[in-house]
Amino acid sequence: MTAHFLRPATRAAALSALNAFLPHAGRAYAAERNYDLGPQDRHNISCLSPYIRLRLLTEEEVIRAVLARHCFVDAQKFVQEVFWRTYWKGWLEMRPSIWRDWQAELALLDTNAPNVRATTEGRTGIGCFDIWARELVDTGYLHNHARMWFASIWIFTLGLPWQLGAAFFLRHLLDGDPASNTLSWRWVAGLQTLGKTYLATPENITTFTKGRFHPGPLAHRPGPQPEPAPPPGSLPVADASPAGPTLLLLTQEDLHAETLPLGKAEIVGIAALEPQNETVSTIVAGFRAAALEDGLRRAAAHFGAPILTGDALALAHQLGVSQIVTAYAPIGPIADQLTALAEAGSAEGVTLLRVRRDWDTAAWPHATKGFFPFREKIPTLLPR
């Protein structure tokens, strides 16, 4: 494992990583971010994604800190990158069928086929690709450019289904995220911007790895047949803020409960939703479990309420409350678990309130088309 991800999955570690990166977030980031210098040298990028993914750091506070240090013109590249994450979230939220289709298509594919195993175990004979496959499994991280090259070689050179590649990433990335991952794979495959594929070339790899790799010619086979994405549907309405005695339920979708819009809730107990049906690697599961514990500890100190263990509905009954509050979870396995919990709760007289951050509510509705029209809105979405 590389030095970076030996950092603990805590908010304290996340804040110290953010502070260490701040001096680089201006023009230096814009100039150098595309270089993958290898796992031992990540000074040109923030490597904050595992923290932002779990909202150990919120997008808002990251951008606020960067803009306190650099003017918008200098920091705009970094700011835009953070907004890519928000954009993908909003885009998928308004087109949940894209996620469901990926799940259904994946279920029909054989993740254990010998050629797939050889690829994920780094035995293809394409040197750089094999190194990235092992780097991903060993460290839980790949540079953005390596992710693009990897996905391109997977789809167009090795001729494997993109759905299997997306599943491999989701299993091993510490920042593995239904929206950013699925839609980035679709983007490389030419499904996101219709017919516009991303094709890795040996020259580009050599240039942007500063000569660490010199791959031979890379064949480019036809990719999947593009189909127009469905038009955006309306965003699900977030629940109103709670009031009165409430059980706070933390999930790995948002681990900064201290800044959730909790209205007039009186938090009388705090519990965690244990993820189910998630097929993530041991490294990812360990990182997320530690982050959840950190989130619980901080929330308990902040709200002055006890940490409780067990099933959320049973805990609500035990506490005598008819209300559970949690952060709104975007499309993905946790959102599915929350839907099941809300249904079970309504049968037992317990309401599950899913509160959404203003950040998401303000930005997501603009993710109706491509990123470029969304980018125009960024100045209106910046923290005041």
Residues near ligand FAD (CB under 6 A) are 33, 45-49, 52-53, 81-82, 84-85, 88, 144, 147-148, 151, 169, 173, 175-177, 180-181, 184-185, 188
Contacts of 60 (CB under 8 A, 6+ apart): 357, 359, 383
Distance, in Å, from the CA atom of 226 to the CA atom of 230, rounded to the nearest integer, reads 12
Nearer to ligand FAD, 57 or 315 (CB): 57
Which is it for the CA torsion 63, 191, 177, 337, positive or negative?
positive
Task: Give the shortest CB-84-to-ligand FAD separation in angstroms.
Answer: 4
Which whole-number Å values give the CA distances from 44 to 52, 133, 274, 370, in the listed order?
A: 18, 22, 35, 27
Give the type of residue at 362.
Answer: A
Task: Give the shortest CB-132-to-ligand FAD separation in angstroms.
Answer: 11
Nearer to ligand FAD, 343 or 376 (CB): 376
Q: How many CB atoms lie within 10 A of CB 80?
A: 15
Nearer to ligand FAD, 182 or 246 (CB): 182
Task: Give the shortest CB-165-to-ligand FAD separation in angstroms.
Answer: 8
Nearer to ligand FAD, 2 or 144 (CB): 144
Residue spans of beta strands (DSSP E) within the chain: 243-250, 264-272, 323-327, 351-355
Q: What are phi and psi of 184, to 5 degrees?
A: -70, -40
Task: Give the shortest CB-237-to-ligand FAD separation in angstroms.
Answer: 25
Instruction: Dig out the tokens for 8 from the structure.
Output: 């603990």
Q: How many CB atoms lie within 10 A of CB 315?
A: 19
**Quick check: 182 and 84 in contact, CB under 8 A?**
no
Nearer to ligand FAD, 144 or 241 (CB): 144
From edge to edge, which strands make up the β-sheet containing 351-355?
Answer: 264-272, 243-250, 323-327, 351-355
Instruction: Dig out the tokens for 292 from the structure.
Output: 């959840």
Nearer to ligand FAD, 5 or 213 (CB): 5
Alpha helix stretches (DSSP H) within 218-281: none
Nearer to ligand FAD, 49 or 326 (CB): 49
Partnered with residue 36 across adjacent β-strands are none
Task: Give the shortest CB-372-to-ligand FAD separation in angstroms.
Answer: 14
Nearer to ligand FAD, 198 or 303 (CB): 198
Task: Give the shortest CB-139-to-ligand FAD separation in angstroms.
Answer: 12
Task: Give the shortest CB-80-to-ligand FAD separation in angstroms.
Answer: 9
Angle between helices 162-172 and 127-139 (to 10 degrees): 40
Task: Give the shortest CB-149-to-ligand FAD separation in angstroms.
Answer: 9
